[in-house]
Chains A and B, each alone.
Chain A
Amino acid sequence: MHIDRLERYWLTAVAAMLGSFVAALVVSVTVFGIRLPSPVDRIDPQHLEETEFAEPGIRAVGGNRYEVHIVAKMWSYDAGPEAGAAGAPPVIRIPNGSQVTFYVTSRDIIHGFYIEQHSVNLEVIPGQVARASTLFNRPGTYKIICNQYCGAGHQTMYGDIIVE
């Protein structure tokens, strides 16, 4: 089948460009360690009280590392009593320089879990444990935003992370 010379050049350039994109992805995984969410655990959303999500909240796990368990529901995040009154947007305080791993699940429908200016962006799916880890090294207040449609109160579902 005849292929024009200029079109061959074009296809070669396209292949080279897409190849460099693939290379960039490999570098982002191997050098910068950016990981996509992958399966952690399955969980029965009707019986969260029997799981690690029975008492949500922040937990130090040694050094500057923390784990935060959060239960998403219509239309708030439950991050435990230390993060404020039940139903109100939680305020999670984190020391500057901490590496924090978030474990998030839902007790009703699908929610989102997005943290401004950090590479945390999860679909929070009932029946699944979603996990993401990030380093907080700039003091400030960062919003947690539910970015998956979850019904009439979706736009009121958020929280704060205060790095201090």
Chain B
Amino acid sequence: MQATLSAPGAKKMDFPPLAMLRSERNLIGVHIITALIALTFGIFMGPFQSFHRSPAFVAAFPDIGIPVFSYYYQALTVHGVMNALFFTTFFIVGFTYYVTQRSLERSMKNVAVGWIAYVLMLIGLSIMLATLFAAPQQSAVLYTFYPPLIAPPTFYIGLVLLVVGSWLATANVFFTYRDWRREHPGERAPLAVFAAIANYIMWDIATITVAIEVLFMLLPASLGLITTTDPQLGRVLFWFFGHPLVYFWLIPAYISWYTMLPKQAGGKLFSDNLARVSFLLLMIFSIPVGVHHLFSDPGISATAKGIHTILTFVVAVPSFMTAFNVGASLEYAGRKNGGKGLFGWILKQKWGDPIVAAQLVAMLIFTTGGFSGLINASAQLNIAVHNTSWVPAHFHTTLGTAVTLTYIGILYWLLPMIRGSALFSKKIALAQVYTWGIGMFIFASSMGQAGLDGAPRRADLSTSLYLNEAAKTWLNASAIGGAILLISSILLFVNIVGTLFSKKPVEGSAPISTTGDSTAPLFLERWGVWIGVILILALIAWGPVIVDTLDFTNGFNILRFTTNGSPY
């Protein structure tokens, strides 16, 4: 690693390699701990939902319900909202502060704004949790909150605060980078920061439409200010946001795979340049593809569906590039560790190191998630799987494993660094990683098969009368996966709590590089150009979809069509 050059007089921090600075530790620490609180609420719902959907389990243990959030759809909303929206956002914001400060070796532009952003997000989380507790029926609108299901106003206010806080966090990173850029003309930003900037630009653009949906449709409806909504337009506005959302989760995992794992595995990154190209492609092509979530919607033309299908295949390219680049980096590390022959390097990976193993297992499961994703995105095949349990099976291999298990791997070094004490138990961590991989493999393959046999997603199937025998069998199998995942989750929290109270001194250092590859073309950092490209592509891909949804034949009356019904 090269020594970092810095202009004289720059706002520099003295960065110790092991312990974190107090100011750094506090801000990052509260984000990570809050993320874990959200995860606690979200994660423990999951296994009980899988038990509840298994006919054999319900027959054997009719009295076992879901703890705390006993109403199935309330638990399902908690699971989605806490895991997918709050855990991820808090973790990403905290982790990105870490990446930005450590890679650029400078403190955030404005730490006070960092704290204001955190407090906004925390109030959002508190209001959301209170709403989910207090109004089990009315707030059960799931994490997609499609109108005309309307939740209490505090549900939407919680979401708004989360997103506004995250916007402040992105601005803080942008301004920190801008200051660094001014002091380092001609230098390449470290890859991790490059990726973080790409991720935050994508997030800021993507959240615009969901903000419009919440502020102009859902919140006014919930407050009784308007009495009608347009559900088709609501779904369009949600899924403009919804697909970049999944890359918002994935890019921090890629940051770990590209910029930390090669070092952790004992090697180096194969190609910094193509990693940058991958991140740019993810940022640009995550937005004009969202209609692949709307293939079954009646209000969207088949032409738009076809265009978004093909663009979805384009956004698969950077993930294939990642598979090659990270795979080659791991091969280099494996051969350096003495791996021989065609596959010997695989055996020589650090399978006994929980930090590395978590990411390796995440990648293995992600290969299945990548291909099931291509199936989902293939317009005609989607008819066979849309809204069946195949879909949650898919995103438990991607969000639930590729992303979450990588975040857990990060947690296993980041939490000790924040706390200043060593991980409670490496053995428990290792057991957690492998039980997660095995549990999720069983869960996802069974749920996928149940979906092909017709089991719907998002349904309390304990009392359903329509399941065929094949679907029942696979749902029973998925509950076995759920049980293993329950054990894995308990192991995770034992280790987290143990580490928070651990007194052993911390070991290891920050797995991060502070310089970029000097051969990367500088135009890759022309962010203004890329933002222009994103907006033009978004306009081409989404403009016709939105115009179709708005009804001009009856005047500009997007709010005319439906009763603002709540099912309760």
Task: Write the residues of chain A forming the contact surface with B, with a CB cutoff of 8 angstroms.
Answer: 1-4, 6-7, 10-11, 14-15, 18, 21-22, 24-25, 28-29, 34-40, 42, 44-46, 74, 89, 108-110, 112, 114, 116-117, 119-131, 143, 145-156, 158
Q: Using CB atoms, name the residue of chain A closest to B374.
A: A21
The 4 closest A-B pairs by CB, nearest first: A151-B567, A127-B561, A147-B456, A130-B298
B67 CB to closest chain A CB (Å) equals 20
Does A125 contact B297, Cβ atoms closer than 8 Å?
A: yes
**Smallest CB gap from B567: residue in A:** A151
Interface contact A42-B561, CB-CB below 8 Å: yes
Chain A residues in 8 Å Cβ range of B387: 112, 114, 121, 123, 147-148
Contact partner of B563 (CB less than 8 A), chosen from A89, A108, A146, A155, is: A108
- Are B148 and A109 closer than 8 Å at their CB atoms? yes
A38–B380 touching, CB < 8 Å: no
CA distance A28 to B302 in the complex (A): 14
Asked if B313 contacts A126 (CB within 8 A), the reply is: no
The answer to whether A128 and B298 touch across the interface, beta carbons within 8 angstroms, is: yes
Chain A residues closer than 8 Å to B235, beta-carbon distance:
110, 123, 125
Give complex CA distance A147, B521 in Å: 49
Q: Which residues of B contact A37 (CB under 8 A)?
A: 295-298, 302
- A6 / chain B contacts, CB cutoff of 8 Å: 328
Question: Which B residues are CB-close (under 8 A) to A18?
Answer: 313-314, 316-317
Whether A44 contacts B148 in the complex (CB less than 8 A), given A10-B324, A146-B456, comes out as: no
Once A21-B378, A109-B567, A147-B459 are accepted as A-B contacts, the answer to whether A127 and B231 lie under 8 Å apart by CB is yes
Are A145 and B466 in contact (CB-based, < 8 A)?
yes
From B299, B328, B463, B520, name the one whose CB has the most chain A CB atoms within 10 angstroms.
B299
- Can you list 11 residue pairs at the A/B interface with Cβ under 8 Å? A1-B521, A4-B271, A14-B320, A38-B298, A42-B561, A46-B562, A109-B148, A110-B146, A114-B456, A147-B456, A155-B462
B294: chain A residues at CB < 8 Å are: 123
Q: List residues 420-460 of chain B with CB under 8 A from any CB of chain A.
A: 454, 456-460
B31 within 8 A of A: no
Partner of A126, one of B306, B310, B563: B563
B464 CB-CB contact with A under 8 Å = yes
B73 in the interface (beta carbon within 8 A) = yes
Residues of B within 8 A of A154 (CB): 73, 458-460
Scan B382-406; emit 1 where CB is below 8 A from any A CB, else 0: 1110111000000000000000000
Q: Is the pair A44, B298 in contact by a Cβ cutoff of 8 Å?
A: no
Residues of A within 8 A of B70 (CB): none
Taking CB atoms, residues of chain B closer than 8 Å to A24 are: 378
B-side contacts of A146, CB under 8 Å = 456
B467 to chain A, nearest CB (A): 8
Residues of B within 8 A of A151 (CB): 73, 140, 149, 567-568
Tell me how far the C-beta of B407 lies from the nearest C-beta in chain A, rounded to whole angstroms.
27
Q: Which residues of A contact B320 (CB under 8 A)?
A: 10-11, 14
Q: How far is the CB of A103 from chain B (nearest CB, A)?
A: 10
Instruction: State A36–B380 Cα separation when bound (angstroms).
Output: 7
Question: Does any Cβ of A come within 8 Å of B507's Cβ?
Answer: no
**Residue total for B at the interface (Cβ-Cβ under 8 A):** 72
Contacts A10-B320, A108-B148 hold; do A36 and B563 have CB atoms under 8 A apart? Answer: no
Q: Are A34 and B383 in contact (CB under 8 A)?
A: yes
B221 CB to nearest A CB, Å: 13
CB distance from B297 to the nearest CB of A (A): 5
Max chain B CB contacts within 10 Å: which of A112, A125, A148?
A125
A7 near B324 with CB under 8 A, answer yes
Q: Is B230 an interface residue (CB 8 A)?
A: yes
**B296:A121 contact, CB within 8 angstroms:** yes
A126 to B320: give the CA distance in the assembly, Å.
39
Q: Is B2 an interface residue (CB 8 A)?
A: no
A155 and B460 contact, CB distance less than 8 A: yes
B273 lies within 8 A of A1 (CB): yes
Q: A38-B302, A109-B567 are in contact. Are A127 and B230 (CB under 8 A)?
A: yes
Is the CB of B461 closer than 8 A to any CB of chain A?
yes
A11 vs B320: C-alpha distance in the bound complex, in angstroms?
8
Contacts of B460 in A (CB 8 A): 154-155
Contacting residues, chain B, for A119 (C-beta < 8 A): 380, 383-384
Collect the chain A residues with CB atoms within 8 Å of residue B328's CB.
4, 6-7
User: Who on chain B is nearest to A13 by CB?
Assistant: B320
Also in contact, A36 and B379, with CB within 8 A (given A125-B299, A126-B561, A145-B466): yes
* Shortest Cβ gap from A43 to chain B (Å): 8
- Chain B residues whose C-beta falls within 8 Å of the C-beta of A123 in the assembled complex: 235, 294, 296-298, 387
A147, B271: Cα distance in complex, Å:
44
B231's closest neighbor in chain A, by CB?
A125
Q: How far is the CA of A6 from the CA of B142 in the complex (A)?
A: 45
B4 at the interface (CB under 8 A from A): no
**B520 proximity list for chain A (CB < 8 A):** 1
B179 close to A (CB within 8 Å) = no
Minimal beta-carbon separation of B264 from chain A (angstroms)? 22
Other A-B pairs, 15, CB within 8 Å; known A7-B321, A114-B388, A147-B458 = A10-B320, A14-B317, A36-B379, A42-B551, A45-B561, A109-B148, A110-B148, A112-B456, A125-B231, A126-B561, A127-B232, A127-B299, A130-B298, A150-B567, A155-B461
Find out whether the CB atom of B565 lies under 8 angstroms from the CB atom of A108: yes
Q: Is the CB of A116 within 8 A of B149?
A: no
- Residue in B closest to A124 when the chains form the complex, CB atoms: B298
In the bound assembly, the distance between CA atoms of A143 and B230 in angstroms comes to 29
Q: Is B367 an interface residue (CB 8 A)?
A: no
**Cβ-based interface call for B23 (8 A):** no
Does A122 contact B374, Cβ atoms closer than 8 Å?
no
Task: Give Cα distance in the complex from A46 to B298, angstroms.
Answer: 18
Q: Is B137 an interface residue (CB 8 A)?
A: yes
A127 near B562 (CB under 8 angstroms)? yes
Interface check B529, CB cutoff 8 A: no
How long is the Cα–Cα vector from A40 to B548 in the complex, in angstroms? 12
CB–CB B521/A116 < 8 A: no
Q: Which residues of A contact B148 (CB under 8 A)?
A: 108-110, 126
On chain B, the residues within 8 Å of A156 by CB distance are 463-465
The docked-state distance in angstroms from the alpha carbon of A69 to that of B457 is 25
- B296 & A155 in contact (Cβ 8 Å cutoff): no
